[in-house]
Chains A and B, each alone.
Chain A
Amino acid sequence: GQQLNQSPQSMFIQEGEDVSMNCTSSSIFNTWLWYKQDPGEGPVLLIALYKAGELTSNGRLTAQFGITRKDSFLNISASIPSDVGIYFCAGLRGGSNYKLTFGKGTLLTVNP
């Protein structure tokens, strides 16, 4: 099935640094979702975006729904060790509105 292009695939940063990751697609999506997955656990919803241009924050996390509806980014400010994990983007189209299209994930490692 179609995948979203998520980058970077992995990041290794120092505690306190800011992080940015993004997802792009050749198709339009009506909803963009960002999840975080810890090893051996299920994806946990971080931020949901429902309107083009929408900018939403959740604590140190900020995500934006691209104006073209074909992309989204997630920023993490002042990273801490517990930010370690895999971050996934996912998109929903209109119409059937059931099938999530996932990015392959960004593995974030934070060095204390």
Chain B
Amino acid sequence: DADVTQTPRNRITKTGKRIMLECSQTKGHDRMYWYRQDPGLGLRLIYYSFDVKDINKGEISDGYSVSRQAQAKFSLSLESAIPNQTALYFCATSDRPGQGGGTQYFGPGTRLTVL
């Protein structure tokens, strides 16, 4: 079984709808991240969490919110989806700092299309 899973893998929705993307991990890592990927722009950090009670904004947090329900679960919400949020979304996890601790492991991604 995959260490980092994301649901759904694909989603098509309409402008104005609320959408939640979910991420679960079995790696036992404390740190979790949400990225979006757009052609030509690479991976950009949306939010990150260092533990259950810690939430931090990344480079492009506007229009998004997150919830860290447990060590293993980190969800991303789009409160009112708009077409320019159409992208590939990736969840990632990493261990605490230290040798190898910063290495991030990615989920398979969610392809979101907002019409």
A residues at B contact (CB < 8 Å): 1, 3, 30-31, 33, 35, 40-45, 48, 50, 88, 90, 92, 97-100, 102-105
Contacts of B108 in A (CB 8 A): 41-42
Contacts of B59 in A (CB 8 A): 1
Contacts of B31 in A (CB 8 A): 98
- Could you count the A-B residue pairs with CB atoms below 8 Å apart for me: how many are there? 59
User: Is B106 a contact partner of A42 (Cβ separation < 8 A)?
Assistant: yes
User: Is A50 a contact partner of B50 (Cβ separation < 8 A)?
Assistant: no
**Contacts A40-B109, A41-B108, A43-B90 given; does A97 touch B102 at CB 8 Å:** yes
CB-CB contacts of B92-115 with A at 8 A, as 1s and 0s?
A: 001001011111111111010000
B residues at A contact (CB < 8 Å): 4, 6, 31, 40, 42-45, 48, 50, 59, 88, 90, 94, 97, 99-109, 111
User: Is A42 a contact partner of B45 (Cβ separation < 8 A)?
Assistant: no
Shortest B62–chain A CB gap in Å is 15
Given A41-B109, A50-B99: 15 more A-B contacts, CB < 8 Å: A40-B111, A42-B107, A42-B108, A45-B105, A48-B103, A88-B43, A92-B103, A97-B101, A98-B48, A98-B94, A98-B97, A98-B102, A100-B102, A102-B43, A104-B40
Complex CA gap A36/B83 in Å reads: 28
